[in-house]
Structures are given as structure tokens and as C-alpha cells.
């Protein structure tokens, strides 16, 4: 006859393999309670980011803001910035989507090196990019000399040069975003289209592009915003000529020396555009969380 020692642990169910058991935690609205030191350091970090924007809003000439933006040179810079940034985005879409597809789908020797070269404009100073563009497309550059001798094309210090500079620094954002989407999409949809004898172009246009549409839109918006705010490569490769290459960032920099209100007004325009871009991409990059 078995002896009952009063221990009922044998009657408890054993944990099943593969089943994760959560530790009991006291429910709370905001999760864990951080230490005061962590809160202080986080507040200092947040202040570091918020204070410059607060200073810009505090200094803004709210009463005469429209008058500052309505000046002829400011309107010209705004129009030129929008035109060049949209052109750079269009060029990035035409060239960047095939490049992203190549990096995502075609294995070849040197692919990692090519991907690293494409991401370089993101990490190195834009002024360095402008200098590199000069030595590549200048009148005495690696390719620019032949463009000038054979076709009479001179790219530096022109509106076309400004578009090239903006494309150079902005297209990597589109390529990286689209490549990631192409790598993670369900390839079975494309395989099904191919089994129905759809051509590669028809499959790409009717299956692949709709499948990566959110990433394509997000990459395009990021590309456009980066092109709109480009400064270093543009002023180095294209210069700062009013009505020709002087975009909003260049105009804001030059206005800071003679008209602070105009510089602040232009800065507010770029700030508003950046906030709008982050709001549009909120669901894509931040999951729509509060």
C-alpha cells in the first residue's frame, strides 16, 4: 500500500515541450517601472533633440512668415527645390528599381561590394560625394571630359548637376528599401504567374510591383525627402546660383548671413516637410504605435 507523504507535486501537470510559460508579472499601464536615473538620462537625451526645434519655433517670425516666404528669391528656391527633388526621385525610380531587383534576385560575384558602394552616400559626408562627382563628371573628370568633348555637355554648376547630386545621395534610400521588400516577398505568387505563361515583364508589373507597393512608396518618399534636403553634394558639384542651382537648403544657409527671418522661415518649411514625411511613414516603419 503506497504511503501518502502529503506532497501533491506529482499531481501537477508537467510543462509540455515547445510551450512557453510566462512568469507572472504585476499588470501595469506602462510595463516596467524605470529607475529615476534612467528617466533622468532619457530626459536629457530627449532634451538634446527637442531643444533645437523648440529654439527654431521660438525664433520663427510667425507674424511675417508668409511675407518672408513670398519673396521672389525664396519662391524661386522653393520652386527649384521641388522640381529638382521630383526629378531626382523619378531618376531614382527608373534606375533604382532594376538595381534593387539585381541585388535581391541575381547572385553574382561582387554583389556585396556593389551593395556597399551603393550605401556609401548614406554614411560619408555629402561634401565628399560632391567632390567625387566633380572628378567623375566635371569637364576634366573621368567621364565628364568625354561628355564635354563629344556632346558638349557640361554637368557641374547646372540644374542638371543639382539633380545628379540629389540623385546620388537620395537613391540609396530607395534601393535599400525596395531590395529588402523583394527579398522578403512571397515568391510563390511570381511562380504561379510564370506557370500561367506570363512573361517576366508582365509578372514583374502585375505581381511583383503590387506586392512591394508599400515599400516602394516608402522608399520613394524617403528618397524625395532626402533629395529635397540635400546641401553638401549640391553646393560642391552644382554651386549656388539663384534660379539655377540654389535650392531651399542653400538659400537658407546664405540667408542666415543677411536675413535671419528668411533663414528661419526656410528652415520651418524643411521642418514641416520632414514631419509630414515621418507622419506618412509612421505605419510603415513604426507599426502605427503611439
In angstroms, the CA 89 to CA 81 distance is 12
Does a structural domain hold residue 215? yes
| DSSP state at residue 208 | I
What separation, in Å, do the N-terminal and C-terminal C-alpha atoms of the chain show?
63
| DSSP state at residue 136 | H
Q: Taking the alpha carbons of 59, 61, 66, 67 in that order, is the dihedral positive or negative?
A: negative
pLDDT tens, 56-77?
888 888 888 787 777 888 888 8
Does a structural domain hold residue 261? yes
Q: What is the mean pLDDT of residues 275-286?
A: 69
Q: Is residue 55's pLDDT more than 90?
A: no
Q: How confident is the model at residue 161 (pLDDT cuts 50, 70, 90)?
A: very high
Q: How many independent structural domains does the chain possess?
A: 1
Does a structural domain hold residue 271? yes
Does a structural domain hold residue 147? yes
Instruction: Tell me the pTM.
Output: 0.79
Does a structural domain hold residue 227? yes
The residue segments making up the domain with residue 196 are 64-282
In angstroms, the CA 88 to CA 167 distance is 5
Predicted local confidence at residue 251, as pLDDT: 87
Does a structural domain hold residue 273? yes
Q: Residue 167 maps to which CATH number? A: 1.10.3720.10
Q: Is residue 87's pLDDT more than 80?
A: yes
Does a structural domain hold residue 101? yes
Does a structural domain hold residue 118? yes
In angstroms, the CA 225 to CA 199 distance is 35
C-alpha atoms less than 13 angstroms from C-alpha of 259 in its C-beta half-sphere: 19
Amino acid at each position: 500500500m503506497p504511503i501518502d507523504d502529503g506532497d501533491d507535486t506529482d499531481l501537477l501537470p508537467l510543462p509540455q515541450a515547445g510551450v512557453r510559460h510566462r512568469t507572472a508579472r504585476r499588470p501595469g499601464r506602462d510595463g516596467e517601472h524605470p529607475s529615476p536615473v534612467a528617466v533622468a538620462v532619457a530626459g536629457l537625451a530627449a532634451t538634446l533633440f527637442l531643444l533645437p526645434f523648440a529654439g527654431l519655433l521660438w525664433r520663427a517670425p510667425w507674424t511675417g512668415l508668409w511675407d518672408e516666404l513670398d519673396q521672389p528669391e525664396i519662391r524661386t528656391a522653393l520652386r527649384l527645390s521641388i522640381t529638382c527633388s521630383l526629378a531626382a526621385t523619378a531618376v531614382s525610380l527608373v534606375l533604382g528599381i532594376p538595381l534593387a531587383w539585381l541585388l535581391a534576385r541575381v547572385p553574382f560575384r561582387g554583389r556585396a561590394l556593389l551593395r556597399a558602394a551603393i550605401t556609401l552616400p548614406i554614411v560619408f559626408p555629402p561634401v565628399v560625394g560632391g567632390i567625387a562627382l566633380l572628378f567623375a563628371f566635371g569637364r576634366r573628370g573621368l567621364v565628364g571630359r568625354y561628355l564635354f568633348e563629344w556632346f558638349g555637355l557640361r554637368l557641374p554648376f547646372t540644374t542638371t548637376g543639382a539633380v545628379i547630386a540629389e540623385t546620388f545621395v537620395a537613391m540609396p534610400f530607395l534601393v535599400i528599401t525596395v531590395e529588402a521588400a523583394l527579398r522578403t516577398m512571397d515568391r510563390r505568387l511570381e511562380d504561379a504567374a510564370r506557370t500561367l505563361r506570363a512573361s517576366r515583364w508582365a509578372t514583374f508589373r502585375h505581381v511583383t510591383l503590387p506586392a512591394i507597393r508599400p515599400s516602394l512608396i516608402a522608399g520613394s518618399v524617403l528618397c524625395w525627402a532626402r533629395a529635397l534636403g540635400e546641401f553638401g553634394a549640391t553646393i560642391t558639384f552644382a554651386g549656388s546660383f539663384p534660379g539655377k542651382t540654389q535650392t531651399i537648403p542653400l538659400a537658407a544657409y546664405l540667408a542666415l548671413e543677411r536675413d535671419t527671418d528668411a533663414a528661419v522661415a526656410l528652415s520651418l518649411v524643411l521642418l514641416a516637410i520632414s514631419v509630414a514625411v515621418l507622419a506618412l511613414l509612421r505605419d510603415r516603419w513604426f507599426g502605427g504605435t503611439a
